[in-house]
Amino acid sequence: MKKLRRSAGHIHHDRTRSDLFESLHDDIVISVLCKLSSTASSPSDFISVFLTCKRLNKLGLHPLVLSKSGSKLLAVRAKSWCDEAHRFLKLCVNAGNSEAYYTLGMIRYYCLQNRGSGASLLAKAAIKSHAPALYSLSLIQFNGSGGLKNDKDLRAGVALCARAAFLGHVDALRELGHCFQDGYGVRKNIQEGRRLLVQANARELASVLRVFDIGAPNRMDIEFGLFSDYGFNFNLIGREMHPVNKFMVEWFGSREENPGPGLRMCSYDGCGRPETRKNEFRRCSGCGKVNYCSRGCQAHDWRMHHRVECAPMEEWMGHAIDDVEEEDDRNGDDEVMDDRPV
């Protein structure tokens, strides 16, 4: 009898808790789900909610919840790409999520090679002042991606880059600074170019200090100097890639035709952009062995490892011979290669 009473009490308690949840108004539940979707650290955090009960499954797909989804919630892996993942991104797009516009736009433009639809989604994200989308569109204009070399529109690229820079995009600031210094798509203004480059490096320095303030997970992995665009090493090794860049790196890395006959990938490991036509990207003027889609990728790759790989083999061999022949005169001092400007 006691066992029956206990079990009956337990059932009554579960029903009470269930009734309390069911008594909550949908607006309250949607508000909580909106907060969860915007702060989720991975898709699994949100999927686990869908599996809880039918009500959460239904409200989790509410347009207001999907419109608040952050980039980490939309971080689909290339190996997990399927119709369901595509459908979920389209639901977020239909809800007006600017991050979904950008993510699906990049995937369609570069991975699925649906240039028109991808560019349209990127444009919708740009209209919503999405800085990465504005910057990506500027690179498409600078490189003439998806068309011929004569399709480059440097003025449009500068305008889009300026808007992204205004919103605080560091790579856009750097790209715009070099445009002013070189007179590329805009009237040459060396002083303004230098100011933008200083601002870009200052923002990078601020991001490093911010990491120290909140506590970096591996502080020994952080290496930084000051003002990399003026010859000093300045780098945050643990710079987090955007989920869509991770997707593209995995997507093209897992395919034999990578990204297609005669086409090259951007040499910066954290980019993932492929060429859309032959010789679209610019080669490194130092070694001619690597190529980049932008100044920003060139700067990041230079600080990561290319600065020690850039000199031609003949130059390295020449230094080695000189070191052997002049060892006594130099007293064993090592030759130091100056940083190349990026």
List pLDDT tens digits, range 50-106: 788 888 888 888 999 999 999 999 998 999 899 999 999 999 999 999 999 999 999
Domain-located, residue 15: no
What pLDDT shows up at residue 305? Answer: 81
DSSP for 164-213, written as a single string: HHHTT-HHHHHHHHHHHHHTSSS---HHHHHHHHHHHHHHHHHHHHHHHH
Helices (H), 51-189: 54-59, 63-67, 83-94, 98-106, 115-127, 131-143, 154-166, 170-182
Render pLDDT for 136-188 as a digit per residue (tens, 0 to 9).
Answer: 999 999 999 988 888 899 999 999 999 999 999 999 999 999 999 999 999 99
Domain-located, residue 278: no
**Structural domain tally of the chain?**
1
Domain-located, residue 89: yes
Tokens for 155? Answer: 């003025």
Q: Work out the pLDDT band at 300, boundaries 50, 70, 90.
A: confident
What pLDDT shows up at residue 241? Answer: 83
Render pLDDT for 237-247 as a digit per residue (tens, 0 to 9).
Answer: 445 789 999 99
Domain-located, residue 29: yes
Domain that holds residue 86: 21-125
- Residue 157, classified by CB atoms within 10 Å of its CB into exposed (0-12), middle (13-18) or buried (19+), is buried
Q: Which residues pair with 274 in a beta bridge?
A: 265
Domain-located, residue 176: no
Domain-located, residue 74: yes
What pLDDT shows up at residue 222? Answer: 45
Q: How far is CA 180 from CA 133, 152, 248, 276, 294, in A?
A: 22, 18, 30, 26, 15
Q: Work out the pLDDT band at 49, boundaries 50, 70, 90.
A: confident
> Looking at per-residue confidence, does 340 or 55 come out higher?
55
Domain-located, residue 94: yes
Domain-located, residue 83: yes
- Residue 208, classified by CB atoms within 10 Å of its CB into exposed (0-12), middle (13-18) or buried (19+), is middle
What pLDDT shows up at residue 342? Answer: 44
Cβ(66)–Cβ(95) below 8 Å? yes
What pLDDT shows up at residue 320? Answer: 45
265 in helix, strand or coil? strand
What pLDDT shows up at residue 40? Answer: 87
256 pLDDT above the threshold of 90: no
Q: Taking residues 40-50, report their average pLDDT.
A: 84
